[in-house]
């Protein structure tokens, strides 16, 4: 991607190290769903053919002249995401369960039962998922599973190769849900919240077990991947949902433990933080300087977050999904300029979409985001 003196990798790494690169890097979260919308193919097509999803992603990348790093899990179908424990929920697949151009949906229902908390502790989280839980939600049979996984491996290899040809590397290779978020999705939010308030001990036992297993497996995998960043996803633990007493008891201690374990190996944690974290942001100052990236989805006040975390942790975000869907290119451009000036001012900032680029993002708005990152700072020099 042109528009500066550094390579895309150098630019991103400088921002993560809290430095001010030649220009603010732009790393949008472009999923297969985003790419389908931007490339003008249906959601059903990308869910039945990962080659079509990859082709759509490459088309979008090439048409806008590229961005600085690959963020997210590449291209995959609902079934593949279930198979690799990326989405531990029942899913509705476009073209099969819902209309061709509806975006896939996760079904919020109680699948994990109260007695399963201790089952997770006894069996181990990974084994419990693959031997038991998966077969309560899967859209494929055990016989079909190897094929589902093999297809994902193949398209992931092609995805990486295609982008290597374009000089673009992954922002991260591994990703995991926070144990708190994982349990909430598996149990459903209402049931999980009841457990937290009315029967918390089994939840705590499971959180502890999942955290230990996550550290023992994922640090090794992330290290082996050769990319010193990994993604940690949490969408439900903020003070938008829970009081700080819940956050401090059920979320923060496990979070610190995980970040410290990765940071001990020099691996930076990318926090994907959806919902409003205004009341929680100051906690992240307790993490070691430079050990994490805070990705915000536009519901958290990114400008206040910058005041709180400036010079301590890199911030990534947060062009709002609604602005990308309904706004005008000049409005997107104005917002990106404000982010670059105010959040990127002293470095440690990566411009991105707030959460994933929505599938109904207007192509001209996506282009405005990318081009503002590429041209704005040099145009002022």
Partner 1 sequence: MREDLGMAIADLKRDLVIEAVTQRSAQGEDPLAILEECRHGMTIVGDRFARGDYYLAELMLSAQVFNMAAGILEPYLSRARPSKPQGKVVLSTLKGDIHDLGKNILASLLRAQGFEVFDLGVDVTPDRIVDKVKEVRPELVGFSALMTGSYPTMKETSQMLKDSGLRGGLKLMVGGGVTTPMVKEYLDADFQTLDALAGVEYCLSVVGGGRK
CB atoms closer than 10 angstroms to residue 157: 11
User: d(Cα 207, Cα 51) in Å, to the nearest integer?
Assistant: 37
Q: Which is nearer to partner 1, 148 or 357 (CB)?
A: 357
Binding partner 1 by CB under 8 A: which of 51, 199, 216, 322?
322
Asked if residue 246 binds partner 1 (CB under 8 A), the reply is yes
Query: Please, what is the minimum distance in Å from the beta carbon of residue 5 to partner 1?
Result: 36
Asked if residue 243 binds partner 1 (CB under 8 A), the reply is yes
Strands 105-107 and 90-92: antiparallel
Q: Which is nearer to partner 1, 108 or 257 (CB)?
A: 108
Name the DSSP letter for residue 206: H
Query: Please, what is the minimum distance in Å from the beta carbon of residue 216 to partner 1?
Result: 31
Name the DSSP letter for residue 103: P
User: d(Cα 300, Cα 273) in Å, to the nearest integer?
Assistant: 9
Asked if residue 190 binds partner 1 (CB under 8 A), the reply is yes
Asked if residue 107 binds partner 1 (CB under 8 A), the reply is yes
Q: Which of residues 108-147 bind partner 1 (CB under 8 A)?
A: 108
SS3 280: coil
Query: Please, what is the minimum distance in Å from the beta carbon of residue 96 to partner 1?
Result: 15
Tokens standing for residue 64: 């806008």
Tokens standing for residue 220: 């090794």
SS3 305: helix
Instruction: Give the residue among 314, 379, 234, 291 at the shortest CA–CA distance from 69.
Output: 314
Asked if residue 241 binds partner 1 (CB under 8 A), the reply is yes
Within the chain, how many helices (H) and strands (E) appear? 18, 8
Q: Which is nearer to partner 1, 333 or 377 (CB)?
A: 333
CB atoms closer than 10 angstroms to residue 289: 11
* Sole window of 115-123, 221-229, 234-242, 367-375 interacting with partner 1 (rule: CB under 8 A): 234-242
Position of tokens 């990486």? 160
Binding partner 1 by CB under 8 A: which of 6, 84, 215, 326?
326
Radius of gyration of the chain, Cα coordinates, nearest whole angstrom: 20
Asked if residue 189 binds partner 1 (CB under 8 A), the reply is yes
Q: Which is nearer to partner 1, 14 or 332 (CB)?
A: 332
Q: Which is nearer to partner 1, 168 or 196 (CB)?
A: 196
Query: Please, what is the minimum distance in Å from the beta carbon of residue 183 to partner 1?
Result: 14
Interface ranges with partner 1 (CB under 8 A):
92, 98-99, 102-103, 105, 107-108, 189-190, 193-194, 196-198, 239-243, 246, 275-276, 299, 320-323, 325-327, 358-360
């Amino acid at each position: 991607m042109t528009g500066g003196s550094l390579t895309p990798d150098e630019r991103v790494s400088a921002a993560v190290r809290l430095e001010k690169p030649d220009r603010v890097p732009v790393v949008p979260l472009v999923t297969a769903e985003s790419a389908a919308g931007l490339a003008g193919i249906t959601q059903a097509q990308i869910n039945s053919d990962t080659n079509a999803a990859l082709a759509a992603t490459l088309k979008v990348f090439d048409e806008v002249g590229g961005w600085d790093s690959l963020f997210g899990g590449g291209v995959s179908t609902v079934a593949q995401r279930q198979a690799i424990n990326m989405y531990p929920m029942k899913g509705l697949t476009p073209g099969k369960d819902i209309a061709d151009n509806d975006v896939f949906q996760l079904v919020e229902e109680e699948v994990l039962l109260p007695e399963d908390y201790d089952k997770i502790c006894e069996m181990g989280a990974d084994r419990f998922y693959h031997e038991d839980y998966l077969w309560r939600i899967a859209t494929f049979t055990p016989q079909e599973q190897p094929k589902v996984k093999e297809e994902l491996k193949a398209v992931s290899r092609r995805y990486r190769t295609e982008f290597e040809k374009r000089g673009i590397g992954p922002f991260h290779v591994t990703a995991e849900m926070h144990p708190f978020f994982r349990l909430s999705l598996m149990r459903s939010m209402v049931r999980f919240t009841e457990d937290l308030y009315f029967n918390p001990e089994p939840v705590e036992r499971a959180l502890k077990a999942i955290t230990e297993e996550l550290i023992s497996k994922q640090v090794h995998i992330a290290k082996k991947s050769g990319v010193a960043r990994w993604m940690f996803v949490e969408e439900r633990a903020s003070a938008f949902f829970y009081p700080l007493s819940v956050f401090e008891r059920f979320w923060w201690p496990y979070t610190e433990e995980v970040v410290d374990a990765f940071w001990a190996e020099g691996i930076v944690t990318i926090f994907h933080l959806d919902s409003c974290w205004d009341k929680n942001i100051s906690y992240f100052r307790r993490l070691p300087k430079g050990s994490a990236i805070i990705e915000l989805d536009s519901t958290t006040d990114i400008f206040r977050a910058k005041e709180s975390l400036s010079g301590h942790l890199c911030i990534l975000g947060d062009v709002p999904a609604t602005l990308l869907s309904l706004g005008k290119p000049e409005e997107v451009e104005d917002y990106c300029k404000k982010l670059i000036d105010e959040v990127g001012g002293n470095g440690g900032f990566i411009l991105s979409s707030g959460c994933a680029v929505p599938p109904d993002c207007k192509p001209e708005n996506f282009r405005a985001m990318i081009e503002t990152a590429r041209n704005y700072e040099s145009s002022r020099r």
